[in-house]
Amino acid sequence: MADLSVNIGELQMKNPVMTASGTFGYGEEFADFIDITRIGGIIVKGTTLHSREGNPYPRMAETPAGMLNAVGLQNKGANYFAEQIYPRIKDIQTNMIVNVSGSAIEDYVKTAEIMNELDKIPAIELNISCPNVKQGGMAFGVTTEGVAEVVNAVRSAYKKTLIVKLSPNVTNIAEMARAAEANGADSISLINTLLGMAIDAERRKPILSTVTGGLSGAAVKPIALRMVWQVANAVKIPVIGLGGIMNWKDAVEFLLAGASAIQIGTANFIDPAVTIKVVDGINDYLDRQGCKSVSEIIGALEL
């Protein structure tokens, strides 16, 4: 049995396997199927300052080897989370991390301040793929200025581990990562979904109510792996890799590319026990390779 523990900023994890935001609810929904305390960290649904209804249906579409979604950050807001959901999940014996989303800097900051007061939330993950309503709806995460501004503002308000989740819909991902690092991020996670589209030819209509949506699942893995490798080589802070991880082998590839931890998203919809299988699979791989600790394979890709 190898030592699977990893640290991300001040966050101590029993293993490098986490669940991706929006794909694992608040964790409790999965507790009847698996021992969720065996997971290194659970990133809960995207939380915004005010409650959001999300986008009209249809907001999901299956694609070959993946899915498109346009859920639109449906949630009941940060205060509801603090008052109603936090008391239910705070004693789950793993790291419960909140994914913080927003459409204005002030909203991100206020949400981060609310999360800062919750003792048993050791970290937040900042979702900067959201449209900036004050700047014509372009996502914060697609310009270095946007990344710098939102990370800097949240860093001043949030005292615990700050993970910044990057959008892959950019030309130079390493620049975005460096902007996040320079403005106080403790860790970078990537990738969020890739912008995609699906059409119903018979009806001559888009399938999603929003026309375009976010692509995730196995289809995005090679892009995610490439971006994780580029970012791990561009920053000194730990990187959390995700995008199309379906099994332990995919997870090991991300660790070799330089990720200190990984997240599993869409695969949870196919197999609710995938996270546990990935923890066991990484452990078996390390044993077979004669490694005593997972740290021995992080960034160990040989070129």
Q: Is 130 in the active site?
A: yes
- How many CB atoms within 10 Å of residue 239? 30
Q: Is 71 in the site for ligand FMN (CB under 6 A)?
A: yes
Q: Which of 55, 38, 49 is nearest to 127 (CA)?
A: 49
- In angstroms, give the least distance from the CB of 283 to ligand FMN: 20
Whose structure tokens read 């960290």? Answer: 41
CB-neighbour burial class of residue 303 (10 A; exposed 0-12, middle 13-18, buried 19+): exposed
- In angstroms, give the least distance from the CB of 264 to ligand FMN: 6
The packing angle between helices 173-182 and 221-232, to 10°, is 50
Q: Is 217 in the site for ligand FMN (CB under 6 A)?
A: yes
Q: What is the distance between the alpha carbons of residues 269 and 32, in angstroms, rounded to a whole number?
A: 15
- In angstroms, give the least distance from the CB of 21 to ligand FMN: 4
Q: What is the distance between the alpha carbons of residues 296 and 89, in angstroms, rounded to a whole number?
A: 33
Q: Is 48 in the site for ligand FMN (CB under 6 A)?
A: no
Q: Is 22 in the site for ligand FMN (CB under 6 A)?
A: yes
Residues 111-150 that bind ligand FMN (CB under 6 A): 127
Catalytic one of 6, 85, 109, 130 = 130
Q: Is 238 in the site for ligand FMN (CB under 6 A)?
A: no
Binding part of the chain for ligand FMN, among 30-38, 116-124, 239-247, 270-278 by CB under 6 A, reads 239-247
Binding part of the chain for ligand FMN, among 1-9, 111-119, 214-222, 288-296 by CB under 6 A, reads 214-222
Q: With helix as H, strand as E and coil as C, how does 17-28 read?
A: EEECCCCCCCCH
67 and 61 in contact (C-beta within 8 Å)?
Answer: yes
- In angstroms, give the least distance from the CB of 303 to ligand FMN: 25
- Contacting residues toward ligand FMN, per CB under 6 A: 20-23, 45-46, 69, 71, 73, 99, 101, 127, 165, 192-193, 216-217, 220, 242-245, 264-267
